[in-house]
Structure 1
Amino acid sequence: MGASCSTSGATSAAAPDVITTAAGQKFERIPPAEDGGKIVVALGKFDAMHRGHAELARRASKMGAPILMSFGGMAEVLGWEEKLPVVAPGDRARVLEMWKAACEGKTVREHVIPFADIRRMSPEEFVSTLKDIGVGGVVAGANYRFGFKAAGTADILKDLGEKLGVDVSIVDLLPANEPGDEGVYPAGYENTPQVSSTRVRACLAAGDVEQAARLLGRNHALVLRIAGAGNDGRFPTSAATNQYPAIGRYAAIVVGADGGRTPTTAEVTDGEIVLEGWGETNGGNDDANVCVEFVGPAADA
């Protein structure tokens, strides 16, 4: 698949090893690292996979075998509005591969625990469960909260790590603003001072793909399902597998399944995403998805 951002990242795996905690709950044990190293989890939502998340992975790699640990089904459990993810599910493996060089050449894995299974745990029960499933170290941002009703703080996490024999490292938040980055965002979006998934979403909603790229550490990539699209490069917005930017015209790059990169203009309308010239040359993509990186405003925008 080369460098295509439509890579699924799916791999076959053996049946999971399931453990039962003292409270009687069942969890999958994290598979051991190939090198037998200590398993170190970075805690977070990891929706945007931005520079702050990459720093958590880098810190974890210095302590052992890095894993991004997130908690699935939060929106459903908490009654939040379902949103398209910032990073397409099939694009996450490509982003993790991009981080590998900064992570001492180590492969960064992902492990998802159902949020419903841990939401009512006390902070100590949560950290104890992490240890039970094989975790030897934890990395979290300075603003990380955990446990029932978010009772756990970074300081509590450090104390519990010392008590339970789990190494803990807390990472300072990365500042987001560069000159000109104090832009106006749509109602309902927070202009956070730190790099955050919320801020990335706000930039995309405002059509500021250049600032989004600075927060992500790479161009924002949109993965579109080809099924149902016309041969003229017109895709319904329902074909998007992740968040697309605001209505507008953008300089973009179609990333082929063979790694080829074809400059194009992408126009987002109220119901369509149009890739100019895509019907003539589809950039070497397979028959499932097309991947588009957004670079900035189109020259004629």
Structure 2
Amino acid sequence: MIPVFDEWQSVPAPWKGSAVALGNFDGVHRGHQALIERTVKQAQALDAPVIALTFEPHPRRFFVPDTGPFRLTLPPAKLRLLEEHGVRAVLAQHFDQAFAALSPDAFVDEVLLRGLAARHVVCGYDFTFGARRGGNVEKLRKRGRERGFGVTILDPVMREGEIYSSTRIREALRAGWASEAAELLGHAWEIEGVVEQGDRRGRTIGFPTANVALGEHLRPHFGVYAVRALIDGTWRAGVANLGKRPTVGKLQENFEVHLFDFAGDLYGKTLRVQLIDFIRAELKFANFDQLKAQIAADAQAARTILAG
């Protein structure tokens, strides 16, 4: 795993003088990937390291603490994706009241220059920074000229007239369009969480499931999905139900994954589960026989989808 720092004051000397990619990078979608690619090219031209500056918790969570789960990628997944696309270290700056209060000039002088000694920064056209979002890309470009660091502003990255954005991906997932979200992301969307103890009801009807913690992940459209899960380095096919299980009268949200032809013990392990395609919306059944028959049909539908 690449090195991660949580305060701009703690970045060690070998990572100073970097080319810096700026942003939240939630999802690390195709637009983010283009930004990172541009940063890598700048770093190569300067013979400099590549570092991403992002924020934890997400500023939206800081400013609106009672907002519901909305994250496309939690920190482990974000770090993995950033590394895959060429980032070599991450400053996951702790976002608190003190950091939120930094003026735009202080963000440049303290974080970018004193903390990172940035030689070049790359950001999107809509990047804002500093208290009350007082800094924009024009101010950043101006400060770069004054303080001697390069600034690249990336134009919107688009597909058929639509900008790649985390907001658009969230909308797709909330509608149940897992394959559309994957196209916008450039990779399948995943839920990554610890397998928790469930009520083991699935075992009684022949479909044992792993109950995966949802955490701060966005909640996609409730229902049944064809999925793949990573176990011991191998992606295994399966079917998953995301929802409140109205047939058994549960109220809490659950993400239950049934893996085909697998009988191992997963309790306590962290599972990565890719949502490949939506099969059906959540339903309430009159009895467990109906539920069992529907699960069997769902499993066959998932096998067909994943085989194609």
| Interval containing the TM-score (normalised by the shorter chain) | 0.7 to 0.9
Measure how far apart 1:125 and its partner are. 2.2
**Which string of whole-angstrom CA distances, capped at 9 and with x for unpartnered residues, describes residues 169-210 of structure 1?**
1111111458xxxxxxxxxxxxxx311111111111111111
2:228 to 239, 253, 261: 253
Bigger-Rg structure (1/2): 2
2:21/2:36 contact within 8 Å kept: yes
Corresponding residue pairs, total: 258
1:79 match: 64
Measure how far apart 1:29 and its partner are. 4.1
Q: Structure 1 pair 97/281, CA: closer, same or farther in 2 (3 Å)?
A: farther
1:67 match: 51
Moved beyond 6 Å, runs of 4+: 10-13
Match status 1:119 vs 2:104: no
Secondary structure of the residue aligned to 1:90 is: helix
**Which string of whole-angstrom CA distances, capped at 9 and with x for unpartnered residues, describes residues 263-285 of structure 1?**
11222222332322469435x96
Measure how far apart 1:290 and its partner are. 1.5
Match status 1:161 vs 2:147: no
Q: Structure 1 pair 39/115, CA: closer, same or farther in 2 (3 Å)?
A: farther
**Which string of whole-angstrom CA distances, capped at 9 and with x for unpartnered residues, describes residues 50-109 of structure 1?**
111122221111222222212334245423425252113332333133213xxxxx6253
2:102/2:131 contact within 8 Å kept: yes
1:292 match: 273
Identical positions, percent: 23
- Structure 1 residues 46-65: aligned runs within 5 Å: 46-64=25-43, 65=49
1:142/1:171 contact within 8 Å kept: yes
1:203 to 157, 172, 177: 172
| Consecutive unaligned residues in structure 1, runs of 5 or more | 1-8, 19-26, 101-105, 179-192
Say which structure is richer in helix. Answer: 2
**Which deviates more from structure 2 when the two are superposed, residues 215-224 or residues 53-62?**
53-62
Q: Structure 1 pair 161/294, CA: closer, same or farther in 2 (3 Å)?
A: same
Measure how far apart 1:160 and its partner are. 0.7
2 CA distance for matches of 1:251 and 1:269? 15
2:4/2:89 contact within 8 Å kept: no
Q: Structure 1 pair 53/33, CA: closer, same or farther in 2 (3 Å)?
A: farther
Secondary structure of the residue aligned to 1:145 is: coil
**Which string of whole-angstrom CA distances, capped at 9 and with x for unpartnered residues, describes residues 102-141 of structure 1?**
xxxx625343242423333332222111101122221110
Match status 1:235 vs 2:211: yes
1:92 match: 78
2 CA distance for matches of 1:277 and 1:39? 43
Secondary structure of the residue aligned to 2:40 is: helix
Q: Structure 1 pair 150/89, CA: closer, same or farther in 2 (3 Å)?
A: closer
1:5 match: none
Report the residue type matching 2:224 in the other structure: R
Q: Structure 1 pair 29/166, CA: closer, same or farther in 2 (3 Å)?
A: farther
2:190/2:272 contact within 8 Å kept: yes
1:233/1:278 contact within 8 Å kept: no
1:224/1:241 contact within 8 Å kept: no
Q: Structure 1 pair 55/216, CA: closer, same or farther in 2 (3 Å)?
A: same
Secondary structure of the residue aligned to 1:28 is: helix
| Consecutive unaligned residues in structure 2, runs of 5 or more | 44-48, 245-252, 280-299, 303-308
The normalised TM-score by structure 1 is: 0.74
1:40/1:61 contact within 8 Å kept: yes
Report the residue type matching 1:51 in the other structure: R
Match status 1:265 vs 2:247: no
2 CA distance for matches of 1:175 and 1:47? 17
2 CA distance for matches of 1:241 and 1:57? 25
**Which string of whole-angstrom CA distances, capped at 9 and with x for unpartnered residues, describes residues 242-268 of structure 1?**
234211222211111x21111112222
- Structure 1 residues 9-20: aligned runs within 5 Å: 9=1
2:4/2:91 contact within 8 Å kept: no
